[in-house]
Amino acid sequence: MSPFLNLFKGEKQKVPPIWFMRQAGRYLPEYLEIRKKCQTFLELCYTPQLATTITLQPLKRFSLDAAILFSDILVVPDALGQKVFFEENKGPRLEPLSLAFFKKQLSADAFLEKIAPVYETIILTKAQLPPSKALLGFAGAPWTLALYMMGGGASRDFSKAKEEAFKNEERFSELLTYLADFVSLHLIEQVKAGVDAIQLFDTWAGLCPATHFERWVLSPTEHIVSKVRDIFPDLPIIGFPKGIGPHLKDYALQTNISALSLDASIPISWAKKELPSSLVLQGNLDPVLLVAGGQSLKDGISFLKKEMEGRSYIFNLGHGILPETLPSHVEDCIRMVKEPL
Ligand code: CP3
């Protein structure tokens, strides 16, 4: 069985299971080689043979405990008919969604047909993955998806999208519910195709004001977890609400997730004291430490290992691997995590 999945069954592991957010991607030369073959990044996400190869690339090189499906959180708006483009080194661009007309602009009809290649990737990947390695599926949380969808892409603080949400809160809540339903469907289909666990990425949760956190972050997340758990009651679900600080407590208690992925700003001593001990913790090495390497990386890893001893814990970063990371640093990191204290 897989050390990653055993942890969720309540079996403490001597050595923490390890995987990295964004472990498949631009820091790997073999990814860049395949990337050249496809015109667009989304084409890559919808080509099961290539997406499977990319999902497995980091596991071929490194001794990781889990693979994460190669895809993107923005396949959900794309499959709902919103135009999504990825420009070279500029990040995503989306044809902006208007809150007043979102029901006309988005269409549920072709959703499953458009997104089906993602499930095909899962089937192909699962067939090639040994049972000791877990396969993770994922989706973006409604709040983060809505910011990209309304803002037309990435921005510094998503202030335009937030302004529109404040001006029409009722419609915005409707959009979040609409997205929560499709995210749930997408996650359920991923589990049916073979993923062993899922992670909900709420990268911009920290941009939600405290006054609206319940409505815009907690409630849609709770809705998704309950829909997925209706069908798969024991599925490990990891939440990654980045940048929310003390709200982590409410997030852990209210959403019913099984694990929390902590960003690098969260003090581990605080997390151990304040979060339920039954909750699996994941994280939270600063991704720049993995770029820097050397003694600071070593110290960062030893600190986490010591602090998390005896706790249900998955080693990971506080956010995704940066493109400038040397693959040799990833290898060093895994070796150090697996060494005895
Ligand atoms: O983790 C993995 O290795 C699995 C694949 C994965 C990708 N994106 C591949 C990708 C996952 C889990 C994601 C999640 C994702 N996508 C998030 C949440 C996590 C996070 O990092 O905050 C977000 C916000 C997105 C949206 C997105 N996709 C952005 C903002 C960008 C451009 C900037 C960037 O970080 O790369 C992407 C593109 C993207 N997604 C690439 C990859 C490998 C690079 C595309 C390329 O090759 O040009």
d(CA 263, CA 228) in angstroms, rounded, equals 24
Q: Within 6 Å (CB) of ligand 1, which residues are found?
A: 21-26, 35, 41, 68, 70-74, 86, 91-92, 138, 154, 201, 203, 320
For residue 337, pLDDT beyond 90? yes
Q: What is the rounded average pLDDT of the residues 21-48?
A: 95
pLDDT band with cut points at 50, 70 and 90 for residue 77: very high
Domain count within the chain: 1
What integer pLDDT is reported at residue 39 of this predicted model?
86
For residue range 115-170, list pLDDT tens digits in order: 999 999 999 999 999 999 999 999 999 999 999 999 998 888 999 999 999 999 99
For residue 190, pLDDT beyond 90? yes
**Alpha-carbon torsion (99, 154, 322, 122), positive or negative:** positive
Share in percent of the chain as helix, strand, coil (round to 5): 55, 15, 35
Between the CA of 63 and the centroid of ligand 1 the distance, in Å, is 22
Between the CA of 266 and the centroid of ligand 1 the distance, in Å, is 22
Query: Residue 72 catalytic?
Result: yes
One of 31, 46, 119, 148 is an active-site residue; which one?
148
Task: Tell me which residue range forms the domain holding 165.
Answer: 3-338
Q: What six digits make up the tokens of 184?
A: 């749930």
d(CA 57, CA 306) in angstroms, rounded, equals 30
**Relative orientation angle of helices 169-193 and 142-151, to the nearest 10 degrees:** 120
Domain CATH number, residue 149: 3.20.20.210
- pLDDT > 70 fraction of the chain, expressed in percent and rounded: 100
Between the CA of 72 and the centroid of ligand 1 the distance, in Å, is 6
Q: Where are the beta strands (DSSP E) in 164-226?
A: 197-202
Q: How far is CA 99 from CA 108, 147, 150, 165, in A?
A: 16, 11, 7, 8
Global confidence as pTM:
0.97
* Phi-psi region at 74: left, alpha or beta (left = phi > 0; alpha = psi -120 to 50): alpha
Is the preceding omega at residue 6 within 30 degrees of 0, hence cis? Answer: no
Residues 220 and 179: beta-carbon distance below 8 Å = yes
Tokens 């095909």 found at: 120
Which residues are registered as beta bridge partners of 315? 18, 283
Test site for ligand 1: of 22, 30, 240, most ligand atoms within 8 A of the Cβ: 22
d(CA 165, CA 154) in angstroms, rounded, equals 16
For residue range 210-232, list pLDDT tens digits in order: 999 999 999 999 999 999 999 99
